[in-house]
Structure 1
């Protein structure tokens, strides 16, 4: 059934095809979509205020047209070309392509530290020493050793701490529940009372 409808529809589809094609081709410019009211008002204002610039933009500029014609692209085969880039000795590119091992504190520590600043590793180190012996390893000694301001060191020691692991001591006394357990259900092996049989003649008398 579909074949019958397609055969009937085909002549109507191609009816006056050549004239319709010429009509579309002969159109000078496709019609643009209508603008919004706000955009249309702004467009009309620009035409009124800058009419000379707008008319010049519609004209063909021979100088720009000549430059556009002079532009051309040349493609070459890069198989035989040496594309190696010269490396800067002060900033060499990485050569080792192996997987980077994880750092100690999750980030790479800087090799050079300016005065008045410290690294994460050094901060954890003097925090650990301070928590172990706060009297001998005080803020003044830390500031002299790491070249830090004493007030900054005091704030670090006040608001930051290193995690401590506490291991409980082993108990010397035994718990009350320690010992052999007694089952709730016990099996008695000795006979305490013997019940008479159902057909026992002694029971009848």
Structure 2
């Protein structure tokens, strides 16, 4: 009976639907409320517009006396040849980017060389001192010391579990 009741309700709902729609459309629409009138004194607005568009002679003369001379550092460095050094270490595969380079500018490191130098220093700090790394890779000593001090790769901290029943990774 529920299906039958829905059909009857739909029949009564759709009776004379077109006439009801036309009646609703032909009704007079309500007018929108009038906007609030804002009283702005025209003098204040006009003064600001006039001062913007007006030529200021003292500022114009000062601007004409300014002379800017610019030099582009890229043009200066493009003129002289940058010293290059052969790569010390190349990562296997193409994991960290293209490895087509066979040499790099002095004072620069590739990602593979940086990881190799820092991990060597981390494993053997007496052998791989910042001075030795700077000399091997043609780097600035001050920058190498900062790199070794502040960039520590692959440091693993194993936090002990709070309970004895928790699973823990066994170190071999």
Q: TM-score, normalised by structure 2?
A: 0.35
Greater relative contact order (Cα 8 A, min sep 6): structure 1 or 2? 2
Q: TM-score, normalised by structure 1?
A: 0.30
Structure with greater helix percent: 2
Higher radius of gyration, 1 or 2: 1
